[in-house]
Amino acid sequence: MSATIKDIKEETGLSLATISKYLNGGNVLPENRQKIEAAIKKLHYEVNEIARGLVTNSTRTIGVSVFEIADIFNGVLIHHIGRELSKFGYGMMVVDAANDPEKEASNIRFLVNKKVDGIIMVPGSMDSSVMDDAVEADIPIVLIDGKYRDKSFDSVTINNREAAASIVDYLIRRGHEKIAFIGSDTSYTANERLKGYREAMDDEGLKLRDEYQFVGELSTEHGYKAMNELMQLEDRPTAVISANYEINLGVVMALNENQISYPDEISVVGFDNLILSQVLSTSLTVVEQPMERFGVKGVEILMKRIREKKKEKPDEDKEFINIILNTHLIEGGSVKDLCKDK
């Protein structure tokens, strides 16, 4: 038979009220807390989280929604979020939108019905309507690596436009002028990177050629198809920028399949210092995003909002928290310095 709260009472000599207060997240004297925790360990007492949730109106669970769980970027992000949440005594419930806005909206509705205490969202689109159920339920929300174009939320991002522009600048300083871009405009992050590329090219007086710009899905398939088309051009670019990890993968697959060497025949720069850039015989030059910091700061903001909600602070004049994290360029061996050839 499993231990009960009465067994803890007999073990500690404390009142049921004190033990119940501790189990429901209330403050008790340090010496009493130590007695209760020792008894719980000794008796192998298991807290009934459902019952506690009914009393405290808290499930100690955070919903985490990602646009594509098969994307390694999201997998790494979930790892850091989960590790940080555990420090605060929270678990997480992960849902996968599979790049489908309708499914994304139904996933949020599912999390709301599960009474999660907060939601961390990695947006797959720029339309905030997917969050309507969470907003109506007054659940704290933090966006990571994205924003919506029509509604503000707390967020943790990088300066995507600046990061893309820094790649263009890096390539220009190495003698490249014919620079292609493989990306997307379907999400805030992707759209900002596309704008950063175009603005940087324009600022340097370089021609923005339609045949050098591929705007589609943020997928391996898109990177693969676009890179194949670039290699068939009579006037090939000397460098290509890929806008995320999945596109990096597709680009490298196409180059390897066509036996095109980089950087000898074309230079490649991408985003995300994940597995691919580290295992290739010629390492990729990439913009590294602060994956761990995404998780740390996102959870930090969410915990702040949950505490505020418990204190029932008025939020009529609430200012949204928008943290912009730094990135840095990691130089691999995938960029040829054309200046040395002149």
Write the Ramachandran bin of 159: left for phi over 0, alpha for psi from -120 to 50, otherwise beta.
Answer: beta
Please give the pLDDT value at position 212: 97
Six token digits for residue 269 = 């720069």
CA distance 252 to 338: 21
CA distance 325 to 117: 25
3-state secondary structure (DSSP) of residue 94: strand
Instruction: Answer whether 189's CB lies under 8 Å from 161's CB.
Output: no
Instruction: From residue 264, give the alpha-carbon distance in Å to each of 171, 254, 335, 337.
Output: 14, 15, 8, 10
Element (H or E) spanning 168, and its range? Answer: helix 160-172
pLDDT at residue 315 greater than cutoff 70 = no
Please give the pLDDT value at position 291: 94
Please give the pLDDT value at position 230: 96
Instruction: Answer whether 226's CB lies under 8 Å from 214's CB.
Output: yes
Element (H or E) spanning 330, and its range? Answer: strand 328-330
Confidence of residue 138 (pLDDT cuts 50, 70, 90): very high
Q: Report, as an integer, the average pLDDT of 167-193.
A: 95
Q: What is the mean pLDDT of the chain?
A: 89
Confidence of residue 99 (pLDDT cuts 50, 70, 90): confident
Mind listing the pLDDT tens digit for each residue in 2-50?
778 888 888 899 888 888 777 776 678 888 889 888 988 888 877 665 5
Q: Please give the domain boundaries of the chain with CATH numbers for all domains.
A: 1-41 (no CATH), 61-158+293-326 (3.40.50.2300), 160-290+329-341 (3.40.50.2300)
Six token digits for residue 22 = 């501790």
On the CB side of 4, CA atoms within 13 Å amount to 3
